Amino acid sequence: MLWWRMINQKSLERRIKRHIIAGKHTLFGAIQPGLEEAGERELSQLGLTPVREKEPGSLCTNISLDELWKTVLLSRSFSRLYLRLDSFKSSGFMELKQKLARIQWSLYLREGCSFKIKLTTRHCRLHVEDKIIKSLNHCMQDHYVQLEGRPPVYTDTKEKDAAIQTIIIRGVDDHFTISLDAGGGALYERGYRKFINDAPLKENIAAALLILSDLPENTLLLDAMSGSGTFALEGLGYSRGLLTAPNRNYPFENWPSFRPGRFQWLKKEIMKEMKPGWQIAAADIDEKSIGAGRENLKLMASQCSVDPGACEFIKEDFFNKTALIDSGDRKPFLILNPPYGRRLSLEDQEAFFRKIGRQILEKYKGIPWGIIVPGLECEKALGLKWEKKYLFKNGGYPVSYLLGICR
């Protein structure tokens, strides 16, 4: 038996090298609907060819294993990244089992590893969650038994652990996709923004908006309502090409195709390519928010090996300040995420955005800007002519990101 297992293992290693390490795969990226262009730009910057799928907020690309690692390490605009294993139509459980059985699970999951399943269905004849999960589990067990190996173990734990592989089953109109979570859950969790204020902007959305702003390398980013520093820290990381979450453990590190030496070499190469990046000036009227921003900057600097002097947090009122406009030889860009929603009534919001518009017209002539605006009424109250507009949802509120310049 040991002699057979040794030959079987060598055969498996050859198949992994041929089909996984040397092969091409489909990477699926989930991004905030309305901001797909940011994901397309980011994938293009990594030398990949993005393709939009029918579902809003869905992009995919063909990718090698090394490219997958690099994309997960550097991507900032995506909320999740999945390795797609298969895609098929199915309207009956017998058909589902047959198609799940054709997946070569041993190429992707180690013997005896733990896995959990995330299942979503919409307009599917197959919608009984328990039966779908059992079908996948049985197919996987049969596959490993045929190889005389130990099948992976299913768990329904809610624990966040990169060692527990999440398998994504998604069904829409009887069309199913089977994927592995490559990033390990929500990618906006960078690991260094521990201190937050009320209603923080998610990091991946902030990064997407900065990417859409298309700023030059010599930018001075004026984050004039910084809160705890989401725009500031994302600008610092994105403009330098830093690792998105340097202390994060990824599920692909437990795949049988993972090569630790190659992965460490790739991370070192990424760090060698680090760029000078933007200078960041962040300001807020709230002392607590500024304190949180400074603490987050310290954590980021220690984890990412970046100079904290490239980003400054100042307690200052946007409607009174003028000091940040002196940009020297850098090109200033004003970015704002003003308070809105439950924190202000509709009348107060309109008056507030009207005041913002007047301040920009008076104090920021000739300086390009990007502003998150909640709804058409506030957009009208702002009174500024925009050149580009992106519609999306933030915290459940329909908002727009306006880009323009007061000439």
pLDDT tens digits, residue range 132-155?
Answer: 999 999 999 999 888 878 899 999
pLDDT value at 77 more than 50: yes
Is 6 or 244 the better-scoring residue by pLDDT?
244
pLDDT value at 172 more than 60: yes
Confidence of residue 352 (pLDDT cuts 50, 70, 90): very high
Q: Order across the sheet with 331-336: list the strands.
A: 311-315, 279-284, 219-223, 331-336, 368-373, 397-405, 386-394
Report the Cα 111 to chain-centroid distance in Å: 29
What is residue 126's predicted lDDT score, i.e. its pLDDT? 86
| Predicted structure pTM score | 0.93
Q: Kindly state whether residues 253 and 170 are assigned to the same domain.
A: no
Secondary structure of residue 60 in the 3-state scheme: strand
In a domain, 290, yes or no: yes
Q: Kindly state whether residues 269 and 151 are assigned to the same domain.
A: no
Cα 237 from Cα 210, distance rounded (Å): 11
Quickly list DSSP for 18-35. IIIISS-EEEEEE--TT-
Backbone angles phi, psi at 246, to 5 degrees: -60, -25
What is residue 344's predicted lDDT score, i.e. its pLDDT? 58
Most confident range (mean pLDDT) of 117-121, 303-307, 338-342, 400-404 is 400-404
What is residue 4's predicted lDDT score, i.e. its pLDDT? 41
Secondary structure of residue 182 in the 3-state scheme: coil
Average pLDDT over residues 359-377: 93
Q: Kindly state whether residues 158 and 242 are assigned to the same domain.
A: no
In a domain, 9, yes or no: no
Residues contacting residue 56 through CB under 8 Å, at least 6 positions apart: 33, 34, 36
In a domain, 118, yes or no: yes
Q: Kindly state whether residues 369 and 321 are assigned to the same domain.
A: yes
What is residue 2's predicted lDDT score, i.e. its pLDDT? 45
Q: Kindly state whether residues 158 and 215 are assigned to the same domain.
A: no
What is residue 407's predicted lDDT score, i.e. its pLDDT? 78
pLDDT value at 311 more than 90: yes
Question: Looking at the DSSP assignment, which residues form a beta bridge with residue 400?
Answer: 373, 391
Average pLDDT over residues 22-46: 97
In a domain, 361, yes or no: yes
In a domain, 49, yes or no: no
Share of the chain above pLDDT 70, in %: 94
Average pLDDT over residues 314-323: 80
Is 346 or 310 the better-scoring residue by pLDDT?
310
Q: Kindly report the CATH number assigned to the domain that includes residue 387.
A: 3.40.50.150
pLDDT value at 332 more than 60: yes
Average pLDDT over residues 168-172: 94
Q: Kindly state whether residues 253 and 210 are assigned to the same domain.
A: yes
Q: How many domains does the chain have?
A: 2
In a domain, 232, yes or no: yes
Q: Kindly state whether residues 273 and 358 are assigned to the same domain.
A: yes
Q: Kindly state whether residues 223 and 98 are assigned to the same domain.
A: no
What is residue 325's predicted lDDT score, i.e. its pLDDT? 59
Residues contacting residue 19 through CB under 8 Å, at least 6 positions apart: 104, 107
Q: How many CB atoms are located within 10 Å of the residue 233 CB? A: 29
Tokens of 153: 């173990």
Share of the chain above pLDDT 90, in %: 73
Cα 228 from Cα 292, distance rounded (Å): 5
In a domain, 3, yes or no: no
Nearest to 57 by CA among 84, 77, 76: 77
What is residue 97's predicted lDDT score, i.e. its pLDDT? 92
pLDDT value at 118 more than 70: yes
Q: Kindly state whether residues 315 and 177 are assigned to the same domain.
A: no
What is residue 346's predicted lDDT score, i.e. its pLDDT? 59
**What range does the domain containing 174 cover?**
87-181
In a domain, 42, yes or no: no
pLDDT value at 326 more than 80: no
Average pLDDT over residues 85-106: 92
Q: Kindly state whether residues 97 and 233 are assigned to the same domain.
A: no
- Which H, E and C letters describe 366-397, residue by residue? CCEEEEEECCHHHHHHHCCCEEEEEEEEECCE
Confidence of residue 233 (pLDDT cuts 50, 70, 90): very high
Q: Kindly state whether residues 218 and 155 are assigned to the same domain.
A: no
Q: Kindly report the CATH number assigned to the domain that includes residue 163.
A: 3.30.2130.30
What is residue 198's predicted lDDT score, i.e. its pLDDT? 66
Q: Kindly state whether residues 348 and 244 are assigned to the same domain.
A: yes
Confidence of residue 127 (pLDDT cuts 50, 70, 90): confident
Amino acid at 138: H
Q: Which of 181, 215, 250 is the last residue of a domain?
A: 181
Average pLDDT over residues 337-366: 85
